[in-house]
Structure 1
Amino acid sequence: MTTREVPTVCRMCHGGCGALVTVDGDRAVAVSGHPGNPNNAGFLCAKGRASVEYTYHPDRLRQPLRRTGPRGSGRYRPIGWDGALTEVADRIAAARDRDGPRSVVLAQGTDRNYQEWLFRFANALGTPNVLGPAHVCFYPRVMAGILTLGGFTFCDYEHDPEVVLLWGSNKAATHGDGVIGTRLLSAVSRGTRLIVVDPHRTSLAARAELWLPLRPGTDAALGLGLLHVVLGEGLVDREFIEGHTTGYEQLAEHVRAWDPRRVAGITGVDAELIVRAARRYATAAPAAIELGTGTAQHSNSFDTARSAVLLSAVCGNLDRPGGDVLWDPQAIIGRRSMPMSEALPPESAAQRLGGDRHRVLSMSGWAHPSAVWRAVLEHDPYPVRTMAVLGSNLLVAYPDSERVHRALSALDFLCVADLFLTPTAAMADIVLPVGGWLERDQIVEHANYVAARRAVTSVGESRSDEEILNDLAGRLGLPGFWESARAALDARLAPAGTTWRELADGYYRPTELRHFTYRERGFATPSGRVALYHEGLRRMGHDPMPVHRPPARATRAGEYLLTSRHSTFYFNSEFRNVPSLRAREPDPRVEMHPGTAAAEGIADGDWTLLEAHGSQALFRARVTDAVLPGVLCAGASWWYPELPPDRSWRVSNVNRLLRDGDENPAMGSSNQRGVPCSVRPAPDEVVAACLRGDLAEWAGELR
């Protein structure tokens, strides 16, 4: 057989690193970083290097399955693709005809470049209800940018910011949307300085010029404090403000009350440190702001994102070299046009679950999860009985996991498409096997290029999510789809005057980065200016300027503030079944300060029980002064693939300790940071029983 090297784009996480896949015949044998890709210049993380191991994992789903046992039991029998897709299409059609298209919910996890396909399918079907983690992930930032200045910004590392304000993001370890962490690190190596806002002393915080260790969930107060200093001391770009913004005087009056001493009392960050950080950011020429999901997972999510956008604006860092830039997408049928939003009638969009309360989230096209579970369990405001899930392990991805389980159990029909029989897939009536990133041809839209992800292998009868959606659309007679998913590749690239073969042969097409575009065309807002005060938000019933909402209650004696963070070796709930990655972090960890550990009689490496909202979860302690006193930092999205599926998600799932509230009015973000929580040593017999999966035996302990 002939060995060849195929250039492609990794998708083991959101990063989108360039990769070189060594292929022997029809089998991938190795994956390395692509030195010619501008994103990562040859770097590839542990997850990317495990791609081959993941692709050929012995537990991969290899054929469609129909459930034969109770939901959650994992008992199935194989069926063919034709029978499986016919049944899924028939059940969706029956639900549409009985209760209307809105009764069908489509769900996805983190985007694997098929998100726009799912929205296209939903809009063509006529359902406004697409469920995803948008409200606690990327979309508070997206919508803050769109509403404030008409677009979403990225840090311009190509032109070396003098300062980067890295806020709630451990980008070097977990990468993220848009521009990955290696670009940040390259800029730092060339002299860019860091201001890091994080309750955890990450590796980047250790390298920062200034580290602001704030209490989890108090980000919006910090944002208001930074604005107070910048505006109060006149450290602003007067020319930009006068020529390109509205509402400056209202903003100045609004932040006047947020002096550093008051903000210090809320955030725990020293007042002088707040002043130094504000001055350092405002006097840098230029500076950029990198927001992470740490800022999105609490009741002040949208307000934090808005304050960051306003800070960038008043300091003149929007759309300038080395600042926060707007990338114009290439002329393909892509993220903006592929969803076919115009196909959904306005009266249907108005029925989106949660849209009556969370107008900004609804504007972005997403349903609110708490409203979805309520519609399933209580048929309020209308019944939802059918759900199709693509690439999401709902039982560990959403707060109040037990409520999610009750909702999935109550559905008339559930279809799940995934690579493995996750706890969520084990609840499904029909399970469809999908391929990983090495098994699919995809158009990759990145901030600074459009690239080809190329299929180099296949496992069993797996199909891509795009193929599944295109086939279902055909069976349902939905408009706007293609003869095949492969045919869609050329159709989508045609407006840019290219073909799939040309893109694949050329690897990627760079997107031109232009600066100061607002000087020619203004900002894409009704006024053509940046809205520091947002009248539209006020009319929707939301705050026109950022606010800070205090927590529902303070910690009591014996309680700490619970937060969480993602591992370098996992991506959300994925890869805990990959031996090389599991060996790097075999157990779920909760990090705590030595003072916390001593107060609770916990030693490094001990198993502990965390308790909040009457539920418990098992974590192994890591005692470190990298965490603030009074803070517990737990590993996110943990489950045990080695346990039976109906038990695997209950043992160490931090989301069992959280509730799916909708505390942020605009986005509906739930409080997942700064949650009052207790911790104590776990009895040895409880640990042994839980790790065997004998949960019923210790129901009194692991509630």
Structure 2
Amino acid sequence: MKLTRRNFLAWAGLSAVGAVACDVFEDELRVQSPVSLPEDLVKGKENWYATLCRTCPSSEGVVVRVVEGRAKKIQGNPNYPTNMGAQSARCDLGLQQLYHPDRLTGPVRLNGPKGSGRFDKITWDRALEALKKELQDRDGAVAMITPPLRGHAALISDNFVKEFGGKRIEFDSLDLNTYKQAIENVFGKKIQPYYDISNAKYVLSFGSDFLSTWISPTQWQVAYGQFRDSKHSGRGTLTHVDSRFSVTASNADRWIPIKPGEEGKLALSIAYVLIEEKLTPSKVDIDDLTDGKGLSALASYHPDNLAAELGIPEHITGSNSVSELIRTVAREFASHGPAIAIGGGSAGASTNGLFNLEAIYLLNHLVGSVGIKGGVILNPDSPIKELSAGSSSHTITDVEDLIKDIKSSKIKMLIVNGTNPVYGLPNWTGLKEALEDEDVYLVSFDYLMNETNNLSNLILPDRNFMEEWGDDIPEPASGYQVIGIQQPIVNPLSDLDPRSSSDVMLSVAQDLGKDSNLPWKTLQEAMKSMSDQLFDLNRGSVSGSTKQEFWNNLLKQGGWWDESATESGSVDTSNIVSNVVAKDKGAAVQSIGEFYLVPFEHNSLLDGRNGDIPWAQATPDPVTSIAWQTWVEINEKKANDMGIQEGDVLKVQSENFEIQGVAFLSPAQPPEVISIPLGQGRTIGSSYATNRLDGESANVLDMLENHKVDETGSLAWAATKVNVINTNTSLRIAKFEGDFESREIGFTEGEKLIKTTSPDGNNH
């Protein structure tokens, strides 16, 4: 057959074998085609497939439009419990990730010194033989680093590395271990709870930018829309406490700037007022909470005693004092029920972060909001015994211990799967130097080059989430049991040969006789086994007369959930107030810088994981509207006093390191705080992430000092103080603000490609 353009396009990609189209738009969507189609247009029917988005940690349920085997559009799955048809801008990045021009086409092996960037292409057979040989030679000295994983990806990774006597470390630049520990201490369960914001009347949040990047923002954005909708349950009130003017702060009815590390004291001062003014519901046993001490348990948190310590500026209190502001917030929190107190982000990132978060979540017990509609709803365990309802939590202390084992040769082989710890860890950890040792064999599963796999001996290209099977137990779920399903909806393009990292591990384990805890040949087989278990439960949102029909319906819906499968039981609250107070050791900051440094996750780049995607780079920040650059948010008046103007390149210095970024002057920024986004400063990767001008792109993680959160070992990433110096150079900030003159397009070389001429000779 002659290869025509039409046939080429039709064959360019085919929907993956086994994918099942969904029918979520059957009643809403009708596709119409014009009578006369252009000659070079490929005729084809579109299908929508339900799956999971993996461009952000919350794994939203999505449906993907596929035409002739090509993914064209991603949008929210209206059936999925967490995001209910909405999706973040980050989900759209999946298309550019799938069709990224710099994707690794197949396995490569190092041919030169580590870090030289010299790799040879090899076949999968040779790659797998090399992997198996090194695993056998280094059995008992193997470790694995992954991002936080859930579902079968976590189970297979854990069991695989255990078969070789090793351990898996979950790496996250801003780990959630302190938050999870606080949740367990206050609510008795480490599984993240569901905050029923949509049915609340009052939300008091501390540090957590839950409308932008914190944990599961799309879930809470949907709930927040209902929270604000007077037709839903009456317009709710949001008070946000934060040392940065974030997206959540900009949406709040009241924003309270606070000195970093003082959030817990403010929370306990509010608790003092609740008890002193008898604002707690009758069902709340104050004697039980305070071990019979009553108000005296919080005597040191009287609002009058704390006003000067909190760093709350007087001008935001109006005509009242800071002490009266605290009382006002406490009265609102008690009287506008149901009310929720939420804490996270920078509130848990000082050295006293665990105390701060426990003090914040304690407020929910004082107003009786635990386990009620519009309050904090505890999530149940997983319906599948072998699958955990939450990801593991490892801290930077755990990573440091791993690095010590690598340097002492206790670990001789490291497998890195889907993460970039060399970029995502501060320089002082020494991971890069440890991996540069030629005696350490490094294997990486990834789809693009980065700072970590550039040091690898072997790189195995992984599949994109739209080419791969998977499952997920959302974190947090919606107050009941939920399992999301990911199915491959397209095949890789013909010039790409990626393989599922889970399938590779299963195959290698079987070949080496290390499969005693890995009974499946493929990830798809593992998921079908799970589907059979869900079928046997005979409950939930998916039904089918046979296991095969159930499997098809599971794929079609994009998951399984059971709204009746909720958490039951009570929470032990005895002496909880005294336990929290005992943790108050203050926020320790040993450095001598002038400014507190409060980093924050970029709205689209997050911690840098999406830095290679041009849409992520070009997405403007919701608060500043800046794109493509690293900026330094600094108080406008403070900047004027220092002779700093917008666009000036600033040198930011800590005791360990220095970086540069462009100045963004904000009247809302607290005078003693500067804020810098994560995500830039890549040195190895695609052209979209690298090759920037000095002052335009920097990795703020390199600035962070070696401070840990008390009792958890997590990185206290909001505990660094820095100095700011104007370099007396400037750059134009790339932002969507100001006036721009219009001009006619079609006259530059690039624009001539899109210029057309009508028969009358006019340009269009």
- Please indicate the TM-score interval, normalised by the length of the shorter structure: 0.7 to 0.9
Distance 1:417 1:578 in 2: 18
Task: Tell me by how many angstroms 1:653 deviates.
Answer: 0.9
Which of 289, 311, 315 in structure 1 is aligned with 2:367? Answer: 315
- Which residue number in structure 1 is paired with residue 121 of structure 2? 78
1:502 aligns with 2:553: yes
Kindly tell me: are residues 644 and 502 of structure 1, through their superposed partners in 2, closer, same or farther at Cα, counting changes over 3 Å? Answer: closer
| Aligned partners of 1:333 and 1:493 also within 8 Å | no
Task: Tell me by how many angstroms 1:419 deviates.
Answer: 1.9
Q: CA RMSD in A?
A: 3.3
Which of 314, 332, 337 in structure 2 is aligned with 1:285? Answer: 337
Cα-to-partner distance string for 1:218-258 (whole Å, 9 max, x where unaligned): 33333333333333333334524379x66543685543212
Aligned-partner residue type, residue 410 of structure 2: P
- Which residue number in structure 2 is paired with residue 433 of structure 1? 461
Distance 1:15 1:644 in 2: 24
Which of 699, 708, 711 in structure 2 is aligned with 1:653? Answer: 699
Please show how residues 208-219 of structure 1 align to structure 2 within 5 Å. Answer: 208-219=252-263
1:620 aligns with 2:662: yes
| Aligned partners of 2:261 and 2:356 also within 8 Å | no
Larger Cα-atom Rg: 2
1:423 aligns with 2:474: no
Which of 635, 660, 664 in structure 1 is aligned with 2:677? Answer: 635
Distance 2:582 2:156 in 1: 34
Cα-to-partner distance string for 1:458-500 (whole Å, 9 max, x where unaligned): 4322223322332343345142211211110022233322654
Distance 2:691 2:297 in 1: 50
1:233 aligns with 2:233: no
Which of 510, 532, 554 in structure 2 is aligned with 1:474? Answer: 510
Please show how residues 545-584 of structure 1 align to structure 2 within 5 Å. Answer: 545-553=582-590, 555-556=592-593, 559-584=594-619
Aligned-partner residue type, residue 652 of structure 1: A
Kindly tell me: are residues 515 and 502 of structure 1, through their superposed partners in 2, closer, same or farther at Cα, counting changes over 3 Å? Answer: closer
Please show how residues 81-96 of structure 1 align to structure 2 within 5 Å. Answer: 81-96=124-139
Moved more, 366-375 or 622-631: 366-375
Kindly tell me: are residues 254 and 534 of structure 1, through their superposed partners in 2, closer, same or farther at Cα, counting changes over 3 Å? Answer: closer
Distance 1:310 1:111 in 2: 29
- Which residue number in structure 2 is paired with residue 348 of structure 1? none
Task: Tell me by how many angstroms 1:415 deviates.
Answer: 1.4
Aligned-partner residue type, residue 673 of structure 1: A
Cα-to-partner distance string for 1:8-62 (whole Å, 9 max, x where unaligned): 2322212333322111232212212334444334333322123212211001122
Please show how residues 172-187 of structure 1 align to structure 2 within 5 Å. Answer: 172-174=211-213, 176-177=215-216, 179-187=219-227
What's the secondary structure of 2:675's corresponding residue? strand
- Which residue number in structure 1 is paired with residue 713 of structure 2? 668
1:298 aligns with 2:336: no
- Which residue number in structure 2 is paired with residue 605 of structure 1? 647
Moved more, 248-257 or 621-630: 248-257
| Aligned partners of 1:196 and 1:205 also within 8 Å | yes
| Aligned partners of 1:217 and 1:300 also within 8 Å | yes
Cα-to-partner distance string for 1:430-482 (whole Å, 9 max, x where unaligned): 11211222122222222033222221124322223322332343345142211
Please show how residues 316-331 of structure 1 align to structure 2 within 5 Å. Answer: 316-331=368-383
Which of 141, 164, 170 in structure 1 is aligned with 2:203? Answer: 164
Task: Tell me by how many angstroms 1:617 deviates.
Answer: 1.1
Distance 1:174 1:338 in 2: 18
Moved more, 161-170 or 30-39: 30-39
Which of 398, 419, 427 in structure 2 is aligned with 1:368? Answer: 398
Which of 143, 150, 162 in structure 1 is aligned with 2:188? Answer: 150
User: Sequence identity of aligned pairs in percent?
Assistant: 19
Task: Tell me by how many angstroms 1:67 deviates.
Answer: 1.4
- Which residue number in structure 2 is paired with residue 462 of structure 1? 498
Q: Which runs of 5+ in 2 are unaligned?
A: 1-43, 313-321, 537-549, 620-626, 733-764
Task: Tell me by how many angstroms 1:571 deviates.
Answer: 2.5
Task: Tell me by how many angstroms 1:261 deviates.
Answer: 3.8
| Aligned partners of 2:595 and 2:673 also within 8 Å | yes
Aligned-partner residue type, residue 301 of structure 1: G
Distance 1:23 1:683 in 2: 51
Distance 1:592 1:600 in 2: 11
| Aligned partners of 2:352 and 2:586 also within 8 Å | yes
Which of 284, 298, 302 in structure 2 is aligned with 1:255? Answer: 298
Distance 2:276 2:390 in 1: 45
Task: Tell me by how many angstroms 1:165 deviates.
Answer: 1.9
| Aligned partners of 1:11 and 1:112 also within 8 Å | no
What's the secondary structure of 1:497's corresponding residue? helix
Distance 1:258 1:566 in 2: 32
Distance 2:324 2:491 in 1: 57
What's the secondary structure of 2:63's corresponding residue? strand
Q: Which runs of 5+ in 1 are unaligned?
A: 342-360, 524-528, 688-703
Distance 2:717 2:428 in 1: 13
Task: Tell me by how many angstroms 1:685 deviates.
Answer: 11
Aligned-partner residue type, residue 469 of structure 2: D
Aligned-partner residue type, residue 507 of structure 1: G
TM-score by length of 2: 0.76
| Aligned partners of 1:202 and 1:626 also within 8 Å | no
What's the secondary structure of 1:682's corresponding residue? strand
Task: Tell me by how many angstroms 1:310 deviates.
Answer: 1.9
| Aligned partners of 2:648 and 2:728 also within 8 Å | no
1:451 aligns with 2:497: no
Aligned-partner residue type, residue 561 of structure 1: Y
1:412 aligns with 2:436: no
Task: Tell me by how many angstroms 1:629 deviates.
Answer: 0.9
What's the secondary structure of 1:288's corresponding residue? strand
Size of the alignment, in residue pairs?
638
Task: Tell me by how many angstroms 1:123 deviates.
Answer: 4.1
Aligned-partner residue type, residue 166 of structure 2: T
Kindly tell me: are residues 659 and 109 of structure 1, through their superposed partners in 2, closer, same or farther at Cα, counting changes over 3 Å? Answer: farther
Cα-to-partner distance string for 1:186-221 (whole Å, 9 max, x where unaligned): 322341211211112223323323322112233333
Please show how residues 97-112 of structure 1 align to structure 2 within 5 Å. Answer: 101=140, 103-111=141-149
Moved more, 145-154 or 589-598: 145-154
Task: Tell me by how many angstroms 1:77 deviates.
Answer: 1.1
Cα-to-partner distance string for 1:103-129 (whole Å, 9 max, x where unaligned): 433211244753343333344444345
Kindly tell me: are residues 573 and 627 of structure 1, through their superposed partners in 2, closer, same or farther at Cα, counting changes over 3 Å? Answer: same
Kindly tell me: are residues 486 and 599 of structure 1, through their superposed partners in 2, closer, same or farther at Cα, counting changes over 3 Å? Answer: same
Distance 2:583 2:61 in 1: 38
| Aligned partners of 1:153 and 1:325 also within 8 Å | no
What's the secondary structure of 2:156's corresponding residue? helix
Moved more, 618-627 or 648-657: 648-657
1:486 aligns with 2:521: no
- Which residue number in structure 2 is paired with residue 591 of structure 1? 633
- Which residue number in structure 2 is paired with residue 26 of structure 1? 69
Kindly tell me: are residues 461 and 280 of structure 1, through their superposed partners in 2, closer, same or farther at Cα, counting changes over 3 Å? Answer: same
What's the secondary structure of 2:87's corresponding residue? coil
Distance 2:731 2:250 in 1: 37
1:267 aligns with 2:310: yes
Distance 1:653 1:675 in 2: 15
Aligned-partner residue type, residue 653 of structure 1: N
Higher relative helix content: 1
Aligned-partner residue type, residue 164 of structure 1: V
Distance 2:397 2:132 in 1: 22
Kindly tell me: are residues 158 and 173 of structure 1, through their superposed partners in 2, closer, same or farther at Cα, counting changes over 3 Å? Answer: closer
Distance 2:87 2:390 in 1: 30
Task: Tell me by how many angstroms 1:643 deviates.
Answer: 6.5
Kindly tell me: are residues 242 and 626 of structure 1, through their superposed partners in 2, closer, same or farther at Cα, counting changes over 3 Å? Answer: closer
Task: Tell me by how many angstroms 1:647 deviates.
Answer: 9.1
